[in-house]
């Protein structure tokens, strides 16, 4: 894998949860903390987000915004708990921006109402600004540009892979998706590719199987590949895979 010329030493990615929907191998649901000179944000926000943040001693108040890849519960189900945190435990006044696929606002508000009907009936003491991501249209927030790419993981909802430019550092996040050859092009030159590999020799529905990813790894022209969203069999094989696998608390400096 080739090295890249992007700016170094300014971006840090912490794996708060690198697991699949089943918390296989006791790994928390998908939640990644990205910190740059100007931004602190989450990529996906699994239901275990508060536990994950507090376990890594991250002050929840530091989160500027959240980018959601798709509307499956293991990727956005933590947002209602974060809203609750900001109402009571760590009172927030500044706006929270949530970027995600079409329908994100309705889905988050619906889940919040279902989980906390009494609380959700009252106005939040801070603004939540939802921004819908449109595939192929880059969106910029602070020093981060998000390029959403539609992936064939869901039929009725829109699932996205996310290519992030974080102040000059490139991160490609596959989200949940089957393999697409377009990842070769998208990964070219990025510093980090967080690539899902849910199954070992079975794509577990609309996901990537490691046996189809493995022969393609050497063709990826990016700085570093870390496998994410690992299912039970992948966790059991662990170190024998010979590839970096996301684990809780893992810090990736770029």
Closer residue to Zn ion, CB minimum distance, 15 or 254 = 15
Does 107 interact with Zn ion (rule: CB under 5 A)?
A: no
Does 176 interact with Zn ion (rule: CB under 5 A)?
A: yes
Q: Least distance from C-beta 154 to Zn ion, angstroms?
A: 7
Segment 70 to 99, residues that bind Zn ion, using CB under 5 A? 72, 74
Closer residue to Zn ion, CB minimum distance, 45 or 146 = 45
Q: For Zn ion, how many residues bind (rule: CB under 5 A)?
A: 4
Does 44 interact with Zn ion (rule: CB under 5 A)?
A: no
Q: Least distance from C-beta 105 to Zn ion, angstroms?
A: 19
CA distance 114 to 232: 30
Q: Least distance from C-beta 94 to Zn ion, angstroms?
A: 29
Q: Least distance from C-beta 44 to Zn ion, angstroms?
A: 8
Closer residue to Zn ion, CB minimum distance, 21 or 161 = 21
Q: Least distance from C-beta 70 to Zn ion, angstroms?
A: 6
Q: Which residues are near Zn ion by CB under 5 A?
A: 21, 72, 74, 176
């Amino acid at each position: 894998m080739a090295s890249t010329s992007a700016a170094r030493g300014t971006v840090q990615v912490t794996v708060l949860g690198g697991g699949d929907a089943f918390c296989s191998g006791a790994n928390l649901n998908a939640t990644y903390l990205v910190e740059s000179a100007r931004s602190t944000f989450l990529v996906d926000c699994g239901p275990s987000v508060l536990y994950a943040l507090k376990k890594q001693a991250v002050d929840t108040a530091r989160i500027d915004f959240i980018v959601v890849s798709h509307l499956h519960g293991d990727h956005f189900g933590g947002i209602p708990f974060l809203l609750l945190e900001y109402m009571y435990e760590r009172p927030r006044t500044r706006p929270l921006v949530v970027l995600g696929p079409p329908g994100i606002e309705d889905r988050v508000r619906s889940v919040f109402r279902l989980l906390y009907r009494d609380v959700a009936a009252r106005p939040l003491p801070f603004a939540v600004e939802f921004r819908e991501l449109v595939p192929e249209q880059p969106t910029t927030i602070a020093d981060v540009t998000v390029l959403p790419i539609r992936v064939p993981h869901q039929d009725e909802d829109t699932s996205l892979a996310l290519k992030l430019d974080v102040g000059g550092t490139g991160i490609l996040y596959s989200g949940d998706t089957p393999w697409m050859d377009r990842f070769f092009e998208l990964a070219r030159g990025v510093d980090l590719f967080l690539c899902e590999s849910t199954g070992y020799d079975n794509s577990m529905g609309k996901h990537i199987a490691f046996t189809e990813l493995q022969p393609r790894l050497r063709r990826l022209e990016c700085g570093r590949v870390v496998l994410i969203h690992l299912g039970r069999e992948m966790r059991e094989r662990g170190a024998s895979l010979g590839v970096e696998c996301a684990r809780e608390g893992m810090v990736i400096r770029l």
